[in-house]
Structure 1
């Protein structure tokens, strides 16, 4: 039986603000520790450790979990999509800044409403959502064009090519994130326990990203570095475990359309953290494009 979701209250608003801060910081945490532990190994390790924590929580609290309740196939699909989303993030951060990745990855709500529009009759888009999609795509075009303006060599400039590849992987990650959301929304996972959905996603990410990192000859032994351990612990305990569980709990109890309005805050926090901790340079064109993307995210999450 479907659960009745409610409007946001003070608790939900506070939790969403904290989640946006945590999610905005995760790209920065990965980038900071990347010279010590590769991005793909970091995300693979954090996913594996967090999956073990989620499974321990299921056992300790006796939370229902079964592979025979109709969630296995959509769970495997969601896990694979989630894994390839973060594989795009991991590889993309080798080529572009954390600030750029934050903006392009969080185009996901735009692609989500497009997918839901075609697949779920009750999710048909209205005029302001179409305007939001136009704004977001225009913003992406403006943000991408900024790289060409700053380069005198065009595509012969390796730095420009690297940035375009990284930014493009950020957008692809957003598309995969949207596909994950639609998969969950269209399957039995939409009414499953938050721990079930999260376990599938984390296990899938751990399997695929660790396999990818190990295929490159990387070791799973973390060097004795406070920065590397601090980054992985933050990503594991705060981001991959606590924040995702909180997010799925919120989705089960509050209206998703109201929660998703906060999504535009995450790239703002991500850009701010990138500038503060990594000294990312923000060009005027990228800033203008990012504003258009954020405006689009707000509009696609509005309801008439």
Structure 2
């Protein structure tokens, strides 16, 4: 993955699409990994460990590539906002996966493109909601509500977990908007990730004792799960996602996230024996179709080319 200067594009090309499909699959599996890892560590403590260790991986990456973090002083306030939203997102997400099923969390968490598209309509140029996109918004919202009240899967989780998963989606949308609307957009992907990991590592580890025991009899599988999160999601994975955010339209990138809940529901059923009935599958399909419609446009509005700092 090259993080050198790259001209901003108006559409995702084949290479970007392939990378996003792989990343969506990794994120789907990560939901299962987080739930399993929570069996050995307190959720917020695990999230803090992940950020702290991922920060170390980022440092190694920078050393190997002989790169420096630039622009941190001029982006202190938006950087702290970015890191704060990242902290909030993972408090909500990790606790949600501790309280309810991977399937329910995935549907609700990956509804993020819905909220992003709704807000972007008002604040981002070229992100106007057409009638087709409004239909997608309605379908996706209907799917989210249907998933929330699906009786079969609801018995396997708690309402608080569902609410926290939705709040995590809102925080994720906030991160995407912060990257686009503030001076953070002028930073390299590594510098953006530094703000997220450094702030969240401190915040999550400081807050972890407020959320119960830090350790829950961790074993080899829990340490392996933590290592997977650190390397393939918390550092290199998000570095890749942030890199793409600087090149492609935000909503186009978000469109690929509909793959993650579909795959995560299947993985939750296959690996964790979670209940997935016809009603829940219908809700998942509505959300997926809605997200596709939200991010499909007849005419694309040209955007001003930008470069990675």
**1 CA distance for matches of 2:98 and 2:42?**
9
Per-residue CA distance 1:74-94 (angstroms, 9 max, x = gap):
111111111111111111112
How far did 1:165 drift?
A: 1.5
Note the 1:28-47 alignment, pairs <5 A: 28-47=32-51
How far did 1:224 drift?
A: 6.2
Note the 1:12-31 alignment, pairs <5 A: 12-31=16-35
**2 CA distance for matches of 1:303 and 1:243?**
28
**2 CA distance for matches of 1:257 and 1:86?**
22
CA RMSD between the two structures: 2.3
Instruction: Pick the aligned partner of 1:4 from 3, 8, 14.
Output: 8
Residue number in structure 1 paired with 2:271: 277
Instruction: State whether structure 2 residue 176 is matched by structure 1 residue 181.
Output: yes
- Size of the aligned set, in residue pairs, is 293
Task: Provide closer, same or farther for how the CA distance between residues 232 and 194 of structure 1 changes in structure 2, counting only shifts above 3 A.
Answer: same
Residue number in structure 2 paired with 1:205: 200
TM-score by length of 2: 0.87
Instruction: State whether structure 2 residue 47 is matched by structure 1 residue 52.
Output: no
Residue number in structure 2 paired with 1:265: 259
Instruction: Pick the aligned partner of 2:88 from 84, 93, 96.
Output: 84
- Unmatched tracts of structure 2, length 5 or more: 299-309
CA contact (8 A) 1:78 1:183 kept: yes
**1 CA distance for matches of 2:226 and 2:189?**
23
How far did 1:5 drift?
A: 1.8
Instruction: State whether structure 2 residue 165 is matched by structure 1 residue 170.
Output: yes
TM-score by length of 1: 0.88
Task: Provide closer, same or farther for how the CA distance between residues 114 and 62 of structure 1 changes in structure 2, counting only shifts above 3 A.
Answer: same
How far did 1:223 drift?
A: 5.9
CA contact (8 A) 1:145 1:285 kept: no
CA contact (8 A) 2:71 2:187 kept: no
Residue number in structure 2 paired with 1:236: 230
Runs of 4+ displaced beyond 6 Å? none
Task: Provide closer, same or farther for how the CA distance between residues 150 and 232 of structure 1 changes in structure 2, counting only shifts above 3 A.
Answer: closer
